[in-house]
Structure 1
Amino acid sequence: MAIATVNPATGQTLRTFEPYSAEAVEQRLARATQTFAQYRLTDFGQRAQLMHRAAELLDADRETIARLMTTEMGKPLVAARAEAAKCAKAMRWYADRAPGLLADEHPSIADVADAGASRAWVRYRPLGVVLAVMPWNFPLWQVIRFAAPALMAGNVGLLKHASNVPQTALYLEDLFRGAGFPDGCFQTLLIGSGAVEGVLRDPRVAAATLTGSEGAGRSVASVAGDEVKKTVLELGGSDPFVVLPSADVQAAARTAVTARVQNNGQSCIAAKRFIVHTDVYDEFTTAFTAAMGALRMGDPMDEGTEVGPLATRQGRDELAELVADALALGAKAETGGAYPQGLGEGWYYPPTVLTEVSARMRIHHEEAFGPVATVYRATDLDHAVELANDTPFGLSSSVWTHDEAEQERFVRDIQAGGVFFNGMTASHPALPFGGVRRSGYGRELSAHGIREFCNTTTVWVAAG
């Protein structure tokens, strides 16, 4: 795949970039290593000052970077502005809280006395150069949720961004440099996916984090495993959205629309499978279908657009293939289900609701990365839990019920990294984010996220 900005609303190539040469990559690796040797010695106050400055610059650049993201990957402009604001918030969150999140931990003297210690403690120390392999769907947020905690912990970062958002990738390097972070603290590598293995195997790279496809995760994990290097993987998701009889069904249906089509449906934590108890199935499906069908699709730069194009032609066509396979095997399209007309050469696909979905269909097992929802009828609570877990993924989930016993059942039995009750799944700096099963391992955000790329060091001082 070429490293290029291609406007998904028009299919027009706006700018192309030559991949960095081996010599250019080597220069950046050397610079990162040299910078880490000094940056790791800075204190939290110094790092926080720089991170706050970066947040201020991002706020000032919000309109410019929002338009750039919309141009490169097609998200509605309103959503792009919100993404930039969320990033600045997370940067400030870590700037203010990193000292407490990484403070030394002191067990009581009584607990360590029998180990022959007069005192002992735990210190969190940075690992070094961390390689981040990031996707295009949230081209700012995916990077910041790695970079803010990693830099506040004293690490330095190398970013290999998706090849269709190169200008956003370069903006991020400029942002941190402009805020005063030392040269080499955060650098972008304009390289293809084939060059990632060489960077990851370099002994100067201490660890890696990847957000992306299951295949990309396997590739990075296998190389990192061979090199015995720490990784965090956030991969795909096919999140269930469960509606039970005690729910406010109309509120659930309204939220379900946002949960499915946020970011044009291209979100790992978007609700994708809607599992509805038979007692409220008709009410929910009618309301959900009507709202999905009424969404305004069009130019993502238009303030009134609710659903823009998919980011790539390949992604749009793969989504259409999933829908076509389901329809051929007996699914019913309540709305959507075919390429739209009258939107030019852009990579659009309409909000679609499929019912009568079965396990014979690919869409039952594969992640639908676009504004396509599958709706299932659950006969009872046990069936709802069974359907929710009938996926190889396990990122997050949304369950609509006011029954505390039902809530506890899902907390106990759902195979996912999160369960959100009576609201849609979202990521927040204060809450750990990540999945299980084929959705990956490790956590981003919160105290868990900042500690992923730290050396948890035991310090022991002998008695006497």
Structure 2
Amino acid sequence: MFNSIYPYTQEIIAEYQEHTESEIATKLLKGEKAYRELLRTPLEKRCQWMAGVAKSMRDNVKEHATLITREMGKTLKEATAEVLKCAATIDFYVENIGGMLSPRIISSDASKSYVSYEAKGIILAIMPWNFPYWQVFRFAIPNILAGNAGILKHASNVSGCALAIEKLFVESEFPEGTFQSVLLSSKHIEPIIADPRVQGVTLTGSTPAGKSVAALAGKYIKKTVLELGGSDPFIVLKDADIQEAAKVAVQGRMQNAGQSCIAAKRWIVEQPVVADFTAAVKAILSQLKQGDPMLESTQMGPMARLDLAAELGKQLQSSTAQGAHLELGGTWEGCNFAPTLLTGITSDMTAFREETFGPLAVVIAAANEEDAISLANETEFGLGSALWTKDLEKAARLATQIESGNVFINAMVRSDARLPFGGVKQSGYGRELSLEGTHEFLNVKTVYIH
């Protein structure tokens, strides 16, 4: 049994039975049948069906958002925005997928040669709880429009979200089995990866989870895309707009109660403006209201699980024992963790070396811009990064030196359907979204005509 627990009160709100081997076998059979039917369906029809999914999401946005909040704790306002972002991404792909799937003509000695992009089968998605709709839809939309079928193994604490997403596709005009959810623990995932009808695996989650899945996928020669952990640097140079940088830093660190792979986890600030930046972010953080996620006035909800809050507490205590200064917060009760600020962080401290997945902000002083880039790269992760400066030519030059999959200049790191998204180093490989993400699980077929 999987329990769904409301993080704010620890109330058990639902119980779900794990799927049996027989039920999973039936789902794989339906998925293969749906894939074969999608291959025979014109793209225009698939787009029409997907647009119907977007309409249903908008028509029932409060129901979906409430489910997200009840299962993993983000504010209802954030959950609503997440659902609407999924619907907006459907709009984008419905409008642009035709161009992304069009054959690419290549000049050669052939009478005609080109690359076609063709669906391959069932794609397995192993997804996390922190954005329980968005992470799923950013995989599902382009793959299903391209003709693949999808099977979702969601995090067990958001099983209700998994089934609600499945229901959206069941109630649409898509063939039965186009998108299905399986409720099972990770230790039982190997038979699905091994199944020859499954042609790829995409995972968003921790780096250890990515290593485990990549090993299994390699064993069975399955393509993988991994979007893993992050310890994103948020670099503030001395010529930056300090007040604007401070506002976006807090937003980037504290949204979703800090539980985001691309959260601004390390604020690296050039020495001349450390004091001003610290004062600015402290003033904003001190006004941030954490509490009941259902209330409109609440700006930050609880963390998703007790063990996650406890782990963040250990990292906080370890860092202060190592010499970090607690400027604000530092208290928690259950999953309700107060927005917390540490200063005096150095590269040998826990809050610098480890990924902190929660509302813990840290200020790291850099001697100069070269030191700031060096500190930014002093991590095993490389997912996202932000750089703040008024000198855009300098920003473009420094962006090439930052080891990450995304660099946002004077802006908060975020995922956007128009832009490819993914990481380097221990943050994974492959891309989601945009043209690059759409092609990840397609057969890039060369056709040569003499």
TM-score of Structure 1 vs Structure 2, range by shorter chain: over 0.9
Can you list the C-alpha shifts for 1:186-209, whole angstroms capped at 9, x where unaligned?
A: 000011111111211111111000
- Distance in 1, matches of 2:393 and 2:137, equals 38
Greater CA drift, 82-91 or 30-39: 30-39
Give CA-to-partner distance per residue, 1:169-216, whole Å, 9 cap, x none.
000011012121110000000111111112111111110000001111
Task: Report the Cα offset of residue 49 of structure 1.
Answer: 0.2
Q: 1:455 aligns with which of 426, 443, 446?
A: 443
In structure 1, distance between residues paired with 2:195 and 2:353:
36
Equivalents in 2 of 1:322, 1:262: separation in Å?
Answer: 19
Offset of residue 118 of structure 1:
1.0
2:420 to 424, 432, 448: 432
State the 1:92 CA deviation. 1.3
Deviation string 1:408-445 (CA, Å, 9 cap, x unpaired) is 23221000001111111111110001000011000000
- 2:108 corresponds to: 112
Summarize deviations over 1:213-243 as a string: whole Å, max 9, x none.
Answer: 1111001100001111100000011101011
On the 8 A contact 1:293/1:352 being kept in 2, the answer is: no
Which segment drifts farther, 193-202 or 309-318? Answer: 193-202
From 236, 241, 245, the counterpart of 1:243: 236
Decide which of 124, 133, 154 is 2:117's aligned counterpart: 124
| Structure 2 equivalent of residue 414 of structure 1 | 402
Contact 2:347–2:375 under 8 Å retained in 1 = no
Q: How does 1:171-210 map to 2 (within 5 A)?
A: 171-210=164-203
Q: Report the alpha carbon displacement of residue 358 of structure 1 after superposing the two structures with TM.
A: 2.4
Residue 413 of structure 1 aligns to a residue whose secondary structure is coil
Q: Are 2:86 and 1:87 aligned? A: yes
Asked if residue 306 in structure 1 is aligned to residue 299 in structure 2, the reply is yes
Structure 1 residue aligned with 2:319, among 316, 326, 330?
326
CA distance in 2, matches of 1:336, 1:456: 52
Instruction: Give matches, 1:49-448, under 5 Å.
Output: 49-107=48-106, 111-113=107-109, 117-339=110-332, 346-448=334-436
Q: CA deviation at 1:13?
A: 1.0
Question: Which amino acid is 1:317 matched to?
Answer: A
Q: Separation in 1 of the partners of 2:170 and 2:51? A: 13
Separation of aligned partners in 1, 2:392 and 2:24 = 54
Q: Percent identical across equivalent pairs?
A: 44
How far does residue 89 in structure 1 lie from its aligned partner after superposition?
0.4
The answer on whether the counterparts of 2:138 and 2:433 sit within 8 Å (CA) in structure 1 is yes
Q: Deviations over 1:238-293 (max 9, x none)?
A: 10101112211011111111011011110111101000011111100011012112
Report the AA paired with residue 47 of structure 2. A
Question: Is the CA contact 1:442–1:452 (under 8 Å) kept in the aligned structure 2?
Answer: yes
* Worse-matched range after superposition: 47-56 or 92-101: 92-101
> CA separation in 2, counterparts of 1:210 and 1:375?
31
> Matched residues in 2 for 1:327 and 1:243: separation?
23
**Offset of residue 404 of structure 1:** 2.8
CA contact (8 A) 1:3 1:192 kept: no
Name the CA distance, whole Å, in 1 between partners of 2:298 and 2:215.
41
Match of 1:343 in 2: none
Q: Distance in 1 between matches of 2:336 and 2:269?
A: 28
Q: Using the alignment, how far apart are the partners of 1:275 and 1:432 within structure 2?
A: 25
Aligned with 1:419: secondary structure? strand
| Secondary structure of the structure 2 residue equivalent to 1:247 | coil
Q: Write the deviation string for residues 383-428 of structure 1: whole angstroms up to 9, x where unpaired.
A: 0000111111000111101113421232210000011111111111
TM-score (norm. length: structure 1): 0.96
Structure 2 contact 303–335 (Cα < 8 Å) conserved: yes
Unaligned runs of 5+ in 2: none
CA RMSD of aligned residues (A): 1.0
Within 2, Cα distance between the matches of 1:411 and 1:361? 26
1:208 is paired with a residue whose SS is: strand
Residues 120-145 of structure 1: CA deviation (Å, up to 9, x unaligned): 11100011100000000000000000
Q: Are 1:130 and 1:205, in contact at CA under 8 Å, matched by a contact in 2?
A: yes
Give the letter aligned to residue 168 of structure 2. Answer: L
Amino acid at match of 1:92: D
What residue in structure 2 maps to residue 47 of structure 1?
46
Q: How far off its partner does 1:42 sit?
A: 1.4
Aligned-partner residue type, residue 434 of structure 1: G
State the match for 1:33 in structure 2.
Answer: 32
Measure, in 1, the Cα distance between the counterparts of 2:269 and 2:410: 14
Contact (CA 8 Å) 1:6, 1:15: kept in 2 or not? yes
4+ long deviations beyond 4 Å: none
Is 1:349–1:371's contact at 8 Å kept on the other side of the alignment? Answer: yes
Question: 1:283 is aligned with what amino acid?
Answer: D
1:338 Cα deviation after fit: 2.4
- Looking at structure 1, the residues matched to 321 and 283 of structure 2 have their Cα atoms a distance apart, in angstroms, of 23
- State the TM-score, normalizing by the size of structure 2: 0.99
Given that residues 104 and 121 in structure 1 are in contact (C-alpha distance below 8 angstroms), is that contact kept between their aligned partners in structure 2?
yes
> In 1, distance between residues paired with 2:390 and 2:13?
50
Q: Which amino acid aligns with 1:354?
A: L
